[in-house]
Amino acid sequence: MQFQWYPGHMTKAKRQMQEDIKLIDLVIELVDARIPLASRNPDIDELGKNKARLILMNKSDLSDAGRNREWSDFFREKGYYVVCLDARSKAGMKDVTNVVMEACKEKIERDRKRGIKNRPVRAMVVGIPNVGKSTFINSYAGKACVKTGNKPGVTKGKQWIRLNKNVELLDTPGILWPKFEDQRVGLYLALIGAIKDEILNIDELSLELIKILLSDYPTVLKERYGVEEDAEPPVILGQIAENRKCISKGGELDYSKAAALLIDEFRSGKLGQITLERPKIQDGSAE
């Protein structure tokens, strides 16, 4: 399957982020816990160098708990602070506050030594579209937030949300663009719904999902749809169509309807907690 991406409109977003990043001490980067590497743009490492770094593996309600641990170790090894999160139900939010303080400790200490007192640490949220940036900011800042802006020392037009006496958060997130370096990344982004479905071939996408599930979560398809796991993916799709009564007007099996149903059930977590990507600790990549 071929994916194309035209990042023209992203140039402005990147320039804005370069400006915003100058104002902050801590980058809070959201990734999708089901595809922790494919949902990142590695350019953030260059943009955010010399800043404290926190990775939030969001939507961890949909990802596999065992893999969450593997991925957390993977990122920690590379020097990031990591928290697994479900921004929608707010699970993990307390850990975020603790880790933000931990990540900022050095900065607070440095300021103290220089005689700078009471300067709050500033943070901003970044991530590709749909990873949950707005949901996170709303849950995290919540009703307790106090907005501060346009006061001396604060860049004009910027709104800061005061989280507590030590930390302020920029109220608008930085939008990163997904990086389609290889087709696998495109496939993963398509599977979690980060690419518009209209430009995708849902039938092909569902066959790719079936292949991944057969290899990594071999009992899931049988348990949910009663299919034979040792059959070929197109046969399995046919069995899903049959079992879920996906029938066209002419009385034939409707493969596209079954494909859409499978993808939808995966995305909404009905197939269970599934992570598509697995870290390969040795060479810093994923598979």
12 assigned ligand-binding residue: no
134 assigned ligand-binding residue: yes
**Is 58 or 72 the residue whose CB approaches ligand G4P more closely?**
58
**Is 131 or 227 the residue whose CB approaches ligand G4P more closely?**
131
Distance CA 54, CA 76 (A): 10
256 assigned ligand-binding residue: no
63 assigned ligand-binding residue: no
User: CB 125 → ligand G4P: shortest distance, Å?
Assistant: 9
Residue nearest to ligand G4P (CB): 132
Which phi and psi angles does 42 have, rounded to 5°?
-60, -15
What torsion do the CA atoms of 76, 81, 84, 89 make, to the nearest 10 degrees? Answer: 180
User: CB 226 → ligand G4P: shortest distance, Å?
Assistant: 26
Distance CA 281, CA 266 (A): 26
Q: What own/partner pairs with CB < 8 Å and gap ≥ 24 does 219-226 have?
A: 220/271, 220/272, 220/274, 224/265, 224/270, 224/271
User: CB 176 → ligand G4P: shortest distance, Å?
Assistant: 10
* Distance (Å) of CA 285 to CA 20, 47, 192: 29, 20, 20
3 state SS of 26: strand
User: CB 93 → ligand G4P: shortest distance, Å?
Assistant: 10
The number of residues in the chain equals 287
Give the residues lining the site for ligand G4P (CB under 6 A): 58-59, 61-62, 86-88, 127, 129-135
Distance CA 37, CA 188 (A): 10
The residues with which 53 forms a beta bridge, in sequence order, are 27
**Is 85 or 207 the residue whose CB approaches ligand G4P more closely?**
85
User: CB 75 → ligand G4P: shortest distance, Å?
Assistant: 17
**Is 60 or 206 the residue whose CB approaches ligand G4P more closely?**
60
**Is 59 or 158 the residue whose CB approaches ligand G4P more closely?**
59
139 assigned ligand-binding residue: no
248 assigned ligand-binding residue: no
60 assigned ligand-binding residue: yes
Annotated binding site: 58-61, 130-135, 174
Annotation: binding site for GTP: 58-61, 130-135, 174
